[in-house]
Structure 1
Amino acid sequence: MKRARLDPRRFVVSAFFLIILFLCILGSINEVRFISLLNFCALAKYMPSQSYYKYSLSSEDLLATNANSSDDIRILIGILTLADKYHRRHLLRLVYGTQQSPVGAKVDIKFVFCNLTKEDQKVLVALEIMRYDDIIILDCKENMKQGKTYTYFSSLPEMLTDSTTNVDPYPPYHYVMKADDDSYFRVNNLVDSLRPLPREDLYYGYVIPCPSMDPFVHYMSGMGYLVSWDIVEWIKESDIPKNHTIGSEDKTFGDWMREGNRAKNRHNAKWSMYNFPDPPTRCTHELWPGTIAVHLLKDQEKWIRTLKYFNVTASLKPSKLYHIP
């Protein structure tokens, strides 16, 4: 009896389909590991030399990183200002309202000040709230060095969480920022810088003093610093910040972190965050595309120079209704 010959073409086709089937099975089994590996590669890409946090390569940590990356980053930027600064709020609404929304992130910008004291404020601020819903009024007397920052952070857990329902996401925000009203944040760059960072025990900003690159020595500049939600909850519950509210508030905040042994994960965003370069000092440099924040925009001329540099009106659509050369 003659043995049947194996058709080479059938062998090739069969082998091809077997390889495809094998790859599909392998891909489904290793999907989580593969995606986690990609996340770790992204982390390595963005890991700056001035970041100070540990990253373990255990499978549990990689899976946790993957789980975080699947959620939108939720960020609250609280701009501490004064009730009477209507024109500044109008400018900032234009500046932030026309920025492109970051993909995979939810960023809320709120204006924060203490109790209203004038009749015109009660009318005009109420109108702003009705129109924009972007104001937080703290139960305090307006101040710079007597606890406004403490009141801001410590008030948020009660303001933003609802114990009667489980519908709202927890935490309401992964990160909370305190920012000055003379700072300009490029929100997409901020979000991109946060993606590879931990969502717990994080303290992020521009390290003081200017020459320093070590975020564990002193504290973060008041131009804008950010902490993770667990630190916000700690500020509300701990006696350390509650009993230490008087003095330079940004330095005081750094004292809380040190005394409470908090913020083991720290990120120095220098030199993507910097002061406006006029006049030139050792705390600044020229405007550049990788900017996260520019500080000390004290007048309209500096705002205009900054906004022109970043070409914020590039997406203005042509229309017969106006002509802007």
Structure 2
Amino acid sequence: MTTKTARPDRRGFVISCFFFICLLCGLASINEVRFDSLLNLGRCALPNLPYSQFHNSSGISLSDNDLHNSSDIRILIGILTLPDHYHKRHFLRMIYGTQSPIGGKVDVKFVFCNLTKEDQKVLVALEIMRYNDIIILDCKENMNQGKTYTYFSSLPYMLKDEDGSVPYPPYHYVMKGDDDVYFRLQNLVDSLRPLPRDDLYYGYVIPCPSMDPFVHYMSGMGYLISWDIVEWIGESEIPKKGLSGPED
């Protein structure tokens, strides 16, 4: 007498696999919809606006409290960085958030060129909505091919006052810094208080140990200029002739 061995239920196995595949496809579709929603959100938060309107997205604005403290020194610190340096930006936000300088209004903004990757458009858009401290320049990311010039020359257009609600100048001083540099804001405010607010360069020259004021400027990991020089950079043809090289 022969016995028959139980054969596996292939039909049930195939049906189970079919439903499992359908479940995976459904989960993938849900994730794709979520990603597309975030991507569209990033595109909405980063429109291609002209400079005269772009300051709203960049977060450069003076609050009502600033208008009442017009005697305080107003300083903009632009930290030139890269879109992918998320951890550096979070760290700098934390340490600068612990400083409250007296006698000065200091705004710290992160500056980089146009975004090139889809994940950047999503993550940077979320940063802008959360912190409102990012300036995106209309340029291709670079270090020595005009990024610093684009930063300074764009500010007068970004901060152009259309309705007279912002004091002039919007900032007395504008600083360029790197994302591996830390400034003591109170010391910065105190050191600037006795200095003139026009025709001022605050920083090293090239070479850094030199004290000769008639050599090359824009040296080092951080330097500051007065607002009238910022406007001159944006209007003059002279800076455009030297865009290449260290610090532009």
Q: What TM-score do you get using the length of structure 2 for normalisation?
A: 0.70
Aligned residue runs from structure 1 range 143-182, under 5 A: 143-162=142-161, 164-182=162-180
AA at the equivalent of 1:79: I
AA at the equivalent of 2:146: G
Give 2:6's aligned residue.
none
After superposition, give the CA deviation of every residue in 1:16-51 in whole Å (9 maximum; x if it has no partner): xxxxxxxxxxxxxxxxxxxxxxxxxxxxxxxxxxxx
Structure 1 position 220, deviation (Å): 4.1
**Secondary structure of the corresponding residue to residue 239 of structure 1:** coil
Give 2:40's aligned residue.
none
In 2, the alpha carbon distance for the partners of 1:219 and 1:188 equals: 25
Give 1:128's aligned residue.
127
CA contact (8 A) 1:111 1:135 kept: yes
Give 1:222's aligned residue.
220
In 2, the alpha carbon distance for the partners of 1:160 and 1:191 equals: 22
CA contact (8 A) 1:208 1:218 kept: yes
In 1, the alpha carbon distance for the partners of 2:154 and 2:104 equals: 24
Higher RCO (Cα < 8 Å, 6 or more apart):
2
Give 2:240's aligned residue.
242
Give 2:113's aligned residue.
114
AA at the equivalent of 1:146: Q
AA at the equivalent of 1:116: L
Find out whether 1:98 has 2:107 as its counterpart.
no
Give 2:199's aligned residue.
201
AA at the equivalent of 2:150: T
Aligned residue runs from structure 1 range 1-325, under 5 A: 71-99=71-99, 101-162=100-161, 164-249=162-247, 252=248
CA contact (8 A) 2:208 2:219 kept: no
Give 1:32's aligned residue.
none
**Secondary structure of the corresponding residue to residue 238 of structure 2:** helix
CA contact (8 A) 1:180 1:222 kept: no
Give 1:24's aligned residue.
none
Structure 1 position 216, deviation (Å): 2.8
Give me the CA root mean square deviation: 1.5
Residue correspondences, number: 180
In 1, the alpha carbon distance for the partners of 2:221 and 2:212 equals: 17
Give 1:11's aligned residue.
none
Give 1:269's aligned residue.
none
Structure 1 position 244, deviation (Å): 2.2
In 1, the alpha carbon distance for the partners of 2:241 and 2:218 equals: 20
Please identify runs of 4+ aligned residues in structure 1 that moved more than 3 A: none
In 1, the alpha carbon distance for the partners of 2:197 and 2:235 equals: 19
CA contact (8 A) 2:208 2:220 kept: no
In 1, the alpha carbon distance for the partners of 2:137 and 2:180 equals: 20
Structure 1 position 221, deviation (Å): 2.4
CA contact (8 A) 1:112 1:135 kept: yes
CA contact (8 A) 2:152 2:234 kept: yes
Gaps of 5+ in 1: 1-68, 253-325
**Secondary structure of the corresponding residue to residue 208 of structure 1:** coil
Structure 1 position 145, deviation (Å): 1.2
After superposition, give the CA deviation of every residue in 1:216-249 in whole Å (9 maximum; x if it has no partner): 3332423101000000000010000123212222
Gaps of 5+ in 2: 1-68
**Secondary structure of the corresponding residue to residue 223 of structure 1:** strand
CA contact (8 A) 1:146 1:246 kept: yes
Q: What TM-score do you get using the length of structure 1 for normalisation?
A: 0.54
